[in-house]
Structures are given as C-alpha cells and as structure tokens.
Amino acid sequence: MQSFAIFWHKQAVILERALNHLVINSRVNIDALNGKTIGLSLQDLPLDVHFICANNRIFVLSATDKSTDVDIKLKSMIFISLLQGEDLTELLRQDKINIHGDAKTAQLLVDLLKEVDIDLEEMASKHTGDIIANQLGKLTRKFNHIGTQSNNPFKIIKDGLSTLLINPIKSKRYKHKNS
Amino acid sequence: MKNTTHFGFKQVATNDKQSLVRDVFNSVASKYNLMNDVLSFGAHRLWKHYTIASSNVKISDKVLDIAGGTGDLAIEFRKKVGDSGQVILSDINAAMLNEGRKNLTNKGIFGVEFVQLNAQQLPFDSNTFDCVSIAFGLRNVTDKDQALKEIYRILKPGSCLLILEFSTTDSVLLKKFYDFYSFNIMPKLGGIIADNEASYQYLAESIRKHPNQETLKNMVLDAGFDFCEYHNLSGGIVALHKGIKV
C-alpha cells in the first residue's frame, strides 16, 4: 500500500510539472480556472489528488480535506473499468461514482489534461535519476497491465479523467442532482 | 519557564537564542558547504534539487529564499525566473550572507539580491512573492509560528512556501543508525574539518527539537495556508513541506 502511495505521489509531482510546462509555454490559458480546486479520490486506495489553480499555475496535491469545486469519488476497480472504456452514465446509474460540483470547471480541467502529453519514464529520469525512473516505469507498467495493454499509462489516466469529467455534463442523472 | 526556549537540548532565554544561533553560524560559515557535503554524503544536493523541482517557479516570478546561506537554492531559482524575475537571497547572519555572495560570484551568477533579515519580521509588502523557500533554517528560528505568519503575509494568492528541513524517521533501524551518527560521528567530523565540535553537537540537538512532519504541517496550516503536504526524503530524515496560499 505504501509503495502505491509513493507511486501516486511521484505521478502527482510529474503531472504538476507537465501541466505547468503547458502554462509556461503559453499552450493553454487557465485564467478561467483561477481559484478553482478539483478533487479526484479513489476510495479503496491512497489516491486523493487535488488540482488547485491559482496565480496562473496549477498545484497537484494529495491528501487534503478541503472542499473542492468539483469532487469525484470512486473505487479503484471502477476507475480502471472507466479507463477500459466502461460507460460513465451506466456507472453513475448504478451509483458506483460520486460526483459533486461545478461541471464547467471540470470541463476546463479536462481541456487542459487533454493537452498533456508526457513520457513518464523520460520525464521522471530528468529529476529522479535513471534508476528510480526505471523502477517507476516498472511500477507503472505493472499497474497499467491490470487494465490495458497500452505503453503510455499517463494517456490512459488522462483519457480516463477526461471521460470521467466530460460525461457528467451529458448525464441526466448528474443534471438532476445539480438542478 | 516562561520566556525561555530551546537551543539544542539546552533551555535558554528567548531573547538569547538569536545571538546563540548567530554565533554558531558565524563559526561554521566558511566551511558550511564542505561540511554539508561531508555530513550528508552529498545528499543535501539531491534534497535541494527535489525542492526546486517541486517549487512551481517560472519565468518572471519573485522568489525569496530565507536562511539561504551559501545560496544553493537561490542559484537555481535565478535560472528559473530569468532576467525578468527577482530572487532575493536572505539570511539573518551576515557571515552566511557573505559566503552566499562569494559563492554566487564564483559561479558567475548575477542578478540575485542579498538582504539580511529576521524571518519573524519580513521587510516586504503583503502579497509580493510567488514562492518563499527556507531550507534547513526554520529550526533555528526562535518564533516559528510568527515566521510562518510573516511568510504567509508576503506570499501572493496562488503561491507556495517550501520548507526543507530535518525531520523524523519512522524506521527503527534507520533511527538507531541516525542517532549514533548524529551524536557520535557528526560532532567529531565538525571538530576535525571545521575545528568546531560544539556547533555540530548543536546541529544534532536542534534537529531533535524540531517539530515532526505532522506538527509542522499543522503549524503551516495554522499560519493561514490553505493547503499543506509534506514529502519524506531519505526515509524521513529530511522532509519537504509545501504550503499553498490560495
């Protein structure tokens, strides 16, 4: 469990750097996200990531009980099934996902995440050293193997987040909950 | 024991701590970098590298490095903010600040400002900086809560505080080794290399008196920060706390 937490923590650091790289290079505009916080939690694993957008930068933090503008809670297997292409609307109908908050904010984050394109091992090696990066890569592939045959775990997570965050807008159940 | 505080394992008058700490750093300033390399087996460079990587600092940002000593962090921040940004290297101790100035000059780093200051009374306007860092300095501050409140005040909304500091390891084996090393080897090395055993005895003691990870996290949050998380480095011997002001 601890190694999983370390694994996710490394991903949070890498994701933060990747997102801010986009901002620094003016490839995305995050003005509309200023002051917003978006949370993603896996209920049965120590993954609790918050995206905090302020001062034209994004912070990716874990483990906080602060309220968010959008909060997504689900179990790891549901998350994996989403990554595998499971229909979010159906999962919502089955009460397997909890989503609360501002869908517009979620959409903006999704647009941002869509722009992220990183090679996890290559990026990690720049600031953790090749040995750690290699270990990280092994862990990544191990996790990745559970749900997919792809060699790009970040793309899977990104796509999964996109699906997760985009679909609530289309969901009648979500609209009903927020009406 | 009102109006007293700790100085290593000793209890001293609160008003005296600042000058006692100053004496310690006056005596070690010229050998500071060498001792850091020897005592940490070079690991302090990796810890600082990780701190910079976690800083979220970019071009044109304003950065304040408190207790910046020989300027290891300031050098890297200067590279990140570019000519349009601003980096201030500060320290309460003039001897350490002079070492920092020499170090930066020797490395051809220009454009960093030097300010001698007390972290408890920062001479800057509110909402000024995009990042404030303090590496291996907070444990020497007499009133840490006041310093954290001051740092919160001068940070802009949407900026972060980075505290790199010795902390507490949960590993029993590592703790045994670390305690033996800290109290038996480190002061001896300090005596041999820097001709100053007492100052490195203080270093070992001050680390033990510093708040642990969770306590420091709560102190950061109590100072007003909206978020704070910490990352253990080298098994918790060192921790990086990151506080976010939203």
- CB-nearest to B244 from A23, A59, A62 is A59
pLDDT in tens, A17-71: 878 888 877 677 788 888 888 887 777 776 778 889 888 899 988 756 677 888 8
Chain A nearest C-alpha distance from B49 (Å): 8
Decide if B122 contacts B149 (C-beta within 8 A).
no
Q: A164: pLDDT confidence band, cut at 50, 70 and 90?
A: very low
Q: How many CB atoms lie within 10 A of CB A138?
A: 11
Residues of B in contact with A133 (CB under 8 A): none
Q: What is the 3-state secondary structure (H, E, C) of chain B?
A: CCCEEEECCEEEEHHHHHHHHHHHHHHHHHHHHHHHHHHCCCHHHHHHHHHHHCCCCCCCCEEEEECCCCCHHHHHHHHHHCCCCEEEEEECCHHHHHHHHHHHHHCCCCCEEEEECCCCCCCCCCCCEEEEEEECCHHHCCCHHHHHHHHHHHEEEEEEEEEEEECCCCCHHHHHHHHHHHHHHHHHHHHHHCCCHHHHHHHHHHHHHCCCHHHHHHHHHHCCCCEEEEEEEHHHCEEEEEEEEC
Q: What is the pLDDT of residue A86?
A: 63
Q: What is the pLDDT of residue A84?
A: 57
Q: What is the DSSP letter of A9?
A: H
Q: What is the pLDDT of residue A49?
A: 82
Chain B nearest C-alpha distance from A97 (Å): 25
Distance (Å, whole) CA B117 – CA B88: 11
Q: A13 touching B, CB under 8 A?
A: yes
For residue A118, pLDDT over 70 is answered with: no
Q: A173 touching B, CB under 8 A?
A: no
Chain B nearest C-alpha distance from A138 (Å): 21
Q: What is the pLDDT of residue B186?
A: 83
Distance (Å, whole) CA A100 – CA A78: 17
Determine the straight-line distance between the first and last CA of chain A, rounded to whole angstroms.
39
Q: What is the pLDDT of residue A20?
A: 85
Q: A37 touching B, CB under 8 A?
A: yes
- CB-nearest to B56 from A34, A35, A57 is A57
Q: A98 touching B, CB under 8 A?
A: no
Q: Answer whether A50 sits within 8 Å of B227, measured CB to CB.
A: yes
Task: State the average pLDDT over residues A85-112.
Answer: 70
- CATH number, domain of B37, equals 3.40.50.150
Q: Answer whether A59 sits within 8 Å of B59, measured CB to CB.
A: no
Q: Answer whether A13 sits within 8 Å of B229, measured CB to CB.
A: no
Task: State the average pLDDT over residues A88-106.
Answer: 72
Q: A115: pLDDT confidence band, cut at 50, 70 and 90?
A: low
Decide if A110 contacts A166 (C-beta within 8 A).
yes
Q: What is the ipTM of this complex?
A: 0.80
Nearest to B69 by CA among B155, B144, B164: B164
Domain range list for chain A? 2-169
Count of structural domains, chain B: 1
Q: Answer whether B227 sits within 8 Å of A61, measured CB to CB.
A: yes
Q: Answer whether B231 sits within 8 Å of A9, measured CB to CB.
A: yes
Domain A2-169 has CATH 3.30.1050.10: yes
Residue with tokens 């903006």: A108
Determine the straight-line distance between the first and last CA of chain B, rounded to whole angstroms.
38
Chain A nearest C-alpha distance from B95 (Å): 32
Chain B nearest C-alpha distance from A59 (Å): 8
Q: How far is CA A127 from CA A143, A177, B232, in A?
A: 22, 43, 16
Q: What is the pLDDT of residue A11?
A: 66
Distance (Å, whole) CA A70 – CA A37: 7
Nearest CA in chain A to B159: A55
Q: Which amino acid is at A123?
A: M
Residue A71, SS3?
strand
- CB-nearest to B156 from A16, A52, A55 is A55
Q: Answer whether B56 sits within 8 Å of A64, measured CB to CB.
A: no
Q: A66 touching B, CB under 8 A?
A: yes
Q: What is the pLDDT of residue B60?
A: 94
Q: What is the pLDDT of residue B201?
A: 84
- CB-nearest to A61 from B49, B59, B244 is B244
pLDDT in tens, chain B (246 residues): 558 887 777 787 887 777 777 777 777 777 777 788 888 888 888 899 989 988 989 999 999 999 998 899 999 999 999 999 999 999 999 999 999 999 999 999 999 999 999 999 999 999 999 999 999 999 989 999 999 999 999 999 999 999 999 999 988 888 888 888 888 888 888 888 878 888 888 888 888 888 999 999 999 999 999 999 998 988 899 999 999 998
Q: A16 touching B, CB under 8 A?
A: yes
Q: What is the pLDDT of residue B155?
A: 98
For residue A151, pLDDT over 50 is answered with: no
Task: Say what percent of chain A tops pLDDT 70.
Answer: 40
Average model confidence (pLDDT) across chain A: 63
Nearest CA in chain A to B60: A24
pLDDT in tens, A63-94: 566 778 888 777 877 666 655 556 666 766 78
Nearest to B39 by CA among B214, B197, B218, B216: B197
Q: A133: pLDDT confidence band, cut at 50, 70 and 90?
A: very low
Distance (Å, whole) CA B118 – CA B67: 9
Q: What is the pLDDT of residue B59?
A: 92
Nearest CA in chain B to A20: B56
Q: Answer whether A61 sits within 8 Å of B242, measured CB to CB.
A: yes
Nearest CA in chain A to B53: A127
- What are the residue ranges of helices labelled H in chain A? 2-24, 76-83, 88-93, 103-115, 120-128, 130-147, 153-170, 172-178
A151-A154-A157-A158 Cα dihedral, nearest 10 degrees: -120
Q: Answer whether A59 sits within 8 Å of B160, measured CB to CB.
A: yes
Q: Answer whether A55 sits within 8 Å of B158, measured CB to CB.
A: yes
Distance (Å, whole) CA B125 – CA A167: 45
Residues of B in contact with A38 (CB under 8 A): none
